Structure 1
């Protein structure tokens, strides 16, 4: 598939659009597919055509994708100016703690409730979750919901301005660590080697906190799509993915899809 033109708008009309109210807050959620549920959380500045493409890959892997609209304009590739406006608005939102180390964003409570509802609706062994960039760490916090059994952290970029910080409360982190051991679960994570938003110090901090339960994979910068408008290698399964057989980013995508299928679909 060729790269999307800058003026392309994805109508997202192959998704069911739901207005989902949980914990007293309503958000739009795009739903598609069948089988166990996977929560796909978009990177900054929102549900771009690249994020939607990844969601369709999840759908086509035999899973039901739930893609909540958390910020930005859905279906577009905004220019740098609009992206910065979205980032600024999101950073000051009470739902997100963009700069706080050892603190979880309040929006993860809503996302946990979404995971519980999705599991009740779709069944299976549990729910998968992938966060990207600004939402990268959210899949870890979501493990406080018992149904979440397949968390993926793609280029987790919070907290901003603290490369070695973790965007999760210390008490929640301890509960997640205990759950990983008790339920024999793992956390998958991906980043590019030279990513200036998600540096090696962050993966080291996760590894120190979670031990062997954290499976962090680092891709060479040379494997990032050179045609991406963001020149810093960053978005592993979206903007910087090269959709060609044998590419490291495609291999990462396929690993993630297989991780979801293995954890969520019953072998019986």
Structure 2
């Protein structure tokens, strides 16, 4: 796959653009591929060319990607000023609870419904989902949908004001853990060691809450792409991925794809 020029718009013209209405709310969703469904949830500031590249890797691995537009401008990586403006707008949106340690963001209900619909359309054993940064925690909360079998949290960054917060209602967390125990399911988590947005305290909280149902992977800061537009090591499979064989970030990507394959595809 060609290297990314962060200053160029990705036309996303290899995706079908669908307007999907669930629970009375309509969102634009980019769909591509065949095979079991995987929901790819974007990080701040939106569906950048880097997020789209990851979605294409998922598609090319044999899955149907559903990539909802949740915020920001699709196909571009804006400068830091516009990115901060997007973050500010999202933080005051009723769909998101950026500062709530013990509450599940309302948008997760819509995402659960999307997973159920996508699984019904695509078949397979179930659906998968990956959340990144602002949406990272959502993949775990989506496990209340029975179709969801393969959740991945990449640098989960909520809540913004509590390093050890998990951004999930305690009752939801208990129900998710009970389901994972009953069905022998796990959730994958990824972060960089020096990530200032997703710190060790958050992974420790997930480990304490979920035990061995949470499989957390911590990459060294030296594994992050030094040429990325964001200098702080953060985005494991997007901005800071080094697209070269043997790189830890590529290994993380391949682990995620193998996880989806194991959980979602028929034996």
User: How far did residue 2 of structure 1 move?
Assistant: 5.8
1:1-268 alignment to 2 at 5 Å?
3-267=3-267
User: How far did residue 229 of structure 1 move?
Assistant: 1.2
Alignment deviations for residues 12-51 of structure 1 (CA, whole Å, 9 cap, x no partner):
0000000000000000000000000000000000000000
Distance 1:197 1:112 in 2: 25
Q: How many aligned positions are there?
A: 267
Distance 1:2 1:41 in 2: 22
Distance 2:226 2:136 in 1: 23
* Matched position secondary structure for 1:128: strand
User: How far did residue 3 of structure 1 move?
Assistant: 4.5
* Matched position secondary structure for 1:226: coil
User: How far did residue 124 of structure 1 move?
Assistant: 0.4
Distance 1:51 1:192 in 2: 18
Distance 1:238 1:161 in 2: 24
Distance 1:85 1:93 in 2: 12
Alignment deviations for residues 200-239 of structure 1 (CA, whole Å, 9 cap, x no partner):
0000000000000000000000000000011100000000
In the alignment, structure 1 segments of 5+ residues that lack a partner are: none
TM-score by length of 2: 0.99
Alignment deviations for residues 185-206 of structure 1 (CA, whole Å, 9 cap, x no partner):
0000000000000000000000
User: How far did residue 7 of structure 1 move?
Assistant: 2.1
* Matched position secondary structure for 1:109: helix
Cα pair 2:6 2:49 within 8 Å, conserved: no
Runs (4+) of structure 1 exceeding 3 A deviation are none
User: How far did residue 4 of structure 1 move?
Assistant: 2.5
